[in-house]
Amino acid sequence: MLWQLFLVFIKVGLISFGGGYAVMTLIQREVAVKGWMNADEFQEIVALAGMAPGSIATNAATLIGYSEAGFLGAIAATVGIILPSLVIVILITAFFMKLHSSEWVKSSFYGLRPIVTGLIIYAAIHFGLSGRSEPLLSWSMTGMLLICAVCLVLVTKYKVHPFAVILLSAVAGIVMF
């Protein structure tokens, strides 16, 4: 089991671009294929991982590893998801000074931006709508979209600190729901 956890999360770590939220759907797919947990259990893992400090993907890997194989499972999953990034960062750092002005490198990073943005948007929609038993157009969905829109305006237009926006959205959620 430890080896399986390590292999699943090293695969995720090797092909993950754009941060934790961009790869959450890949993690969910891998966990479902292995039969480690159902969609509701995974949603709970995502919620817990999102509340903890650090990368949501790393936190989710740790929690999944722990739920499947205890402390050693948490270590195997965490090392698996972190190891590829660590190796890549070390290699890039070694060659970055020679390559940072290369047009090929600049173009590659520029080309990754829309992919990462798309993956993050897909993850937000997927997690926002999964596990819903009520219709798509409902009062709770309207409230959720309203909170989302207000948060977006507060952060982008008024430059309100994200921590304050999180607190305000929590209060709005308590009041509305």
pLDDT in tens, 6-43: 999 999 998 877 677 778 888 999 999 999 999 889 99
Task: Please say whether the beta carbons of 46 and 24 come within 8 A.
Answer: yes
> Which of the four pLDDT bands, split at 50, 70 and 90, describes residue 103?
confident
Mean pLDDT of 40-50: 91
- Name residues whose C-beta falls within 8 Å of residue 84's C-beta, 6 or more positions apart in sequence: 10, 13, 14, 16
Q: Determine the pLDDT at residue 132.
A: 67
Q: Determine the pLDDT at residue 63.
A: 96
Question: Chain-centre distance of CA 173, in angstroms?
Answer: 22
DSSP 18: S
Tokens 């999180």 sit at which residue? 166
Residue 159 has a CB neighbour count (10 Å cut-off) of 7
Measure Cα distances from 139 to 124, 154, 166, 177 in Å: 19, 22, 21, 9
Q: Determine the pLDDT at residue 131.
A: 66
Q: Determine the pLDDT at residue 77.
A: 97
Residue 78 has pLDDT above 90, yes or no: yes
Residue 176 has pLDDT above 70, yes or no: yes
Q: Determine the pLDDT at residue 161.
A: 94
- Name residues whose C-beta falls within 8 Å of residue 176's C-beta, 6 or more positions apart in sequence: 143, 147
DSSP 101: T
The domain spans of the chain are 2-131, 135-177
CA diameter of the chain: 56
Q: State the average pLDDT for the chain.
A: 88
